[in-house]
Amino acid sequence: MTRPSCPSCNRVMKRNGTTSAGTTRWRCPSPECGVSRTVKHQRDGSSLIMFLDWLFSKHTQAETGADPRTFRRHTRWCWELWPPVPLVDEIHHVVHVDGIHLHRQAVVLIAIADAHVIGWYVARRETSAGWMNLMARIAPPDVVVCDGGGGLLKALKTVWPDTRVQRCLFHVCMKISELTGTRPRLDAGKQLRKLAIGLSRVTTRDDAAAWLVAYNQWEQDFHEFLDEHSQYADGSIEDTHQRLVKARRMIRKRIKENHLFTFLDHELTRDTPIPATNNLIESWNARLRDMMRHHRGLRLIRRIKAICWWCHQHSERPQPAAWLAVNSITDQHIEDLYRKAWQSSPQGAYENYGIPNRYGTGINWNEFHTTTRYPNQTN
**Overall number of domains in the chain:** 4
CB 290 within 8 A of CB 55: no
Report the pLDDT value the prediction gives residue 1, as an integer from 0 to 100. Answer: 52
Can you say whether the dihedral through the CA atoms of 262, 266, 271, 273 is positive or negative? positive
Give the confidence band of 374 by pLDDT, cuts at 50, 70, 90: very low
Same domain membership, residue 176 and residue 159: no
Same domain membership, residue 295 and residue 177: no
Distance separating alpha carbons of residues 55 and 233, to the nearest angstrom: 58
Give the confidence band of 270 by pLDDT, cuts at 50, 70, 90: confident
Distance separating alpha carbons of residues 328 and 264, to the nearest angstrom: 43
Same domain membership, residue 257 and residue 176: yes
Report the pLDDT value the prediction gives residue 199, as an integer from 0 to 100. Answer: 92
Domain assignment present for 270: no
pLDDT per residue as tens digits for the range 125-160? 889 999 999 999 999 999 999 988 768 999 999 999
Q: Which residues contact 225 (CB under 8 A, 6 or more apart)?
A: 188, 241
Same domain membership, residue 295 and residue 225: no
How is the chain split among helix, strand and coil, in percent rounded to 5? 45, 15, 35
Same domain membership, residue 349 and residue 304: no
Same domain membership, residue 298 and residue 245: no
Q: Flag the least confident range among 20-24, 105-109, 320-324.
A: 20-24
Crossing angle (nearest 10°) for helices 242-257 and 187-199: 30
Q: What percent of the chain has pLDDT over 90?
A: 50
What does pTM read for this prediction?
Answer: 0.78
CB 172 within 8 A of CB 254: yes
Assign residue 110 the CATH number of its domain.
Answer: 3.30.420.10
Domain assignment present for 22: yes
CB 298 within 8 A of CB 107: no
Domain assignment present for 12: yes
Same domain membership, residue 182 and residue 162: no
Q: What percent of the chain has pLDDT over 70?
A: 89
Report the pLDDT value the prediction gives residue 28, as an integer from 0 to 100. Answer: 87
pLDDT per residue as tens digits for the range 152-209? 999 999 999 999 999 999 999 999 999 998 899 999 999 999 999 999 899 999 999 9
Q: Please give the helix or strand (H or E) that residue 145 lies within, else none.
A: strand 143-146
Same domain membership, residue 178 and residue 138: no
pLDDT per residue as tens digits for the range 14-62? 888 888 877 788 888 888 888 888 876 556 788 899 999 999 999 998 8
Q: Which of 101, 81, 90 is nearest to 137 (CA)?
A: 90
Same domain membership, residue 204 and residue 341: no
Same domain membership, residue 257 and residue 207: yes
Domain assignment present for 103: yes
Domain assignment present for 341: yes
Q: Report the DSSP pairing between strands 237-239 and 229-231.
A: antiparallel
User: What range defines the domain where residue 343 resides?
Assistant: 331-368
Same domain membership, residue 117 and residue 151: yes
Assign residue 14 the CATH number of its domain.
Answer: 2.20.25
Q: Flag the least confident range among 31-40, 80-89, 172-181, 262-271.
A: 31-40
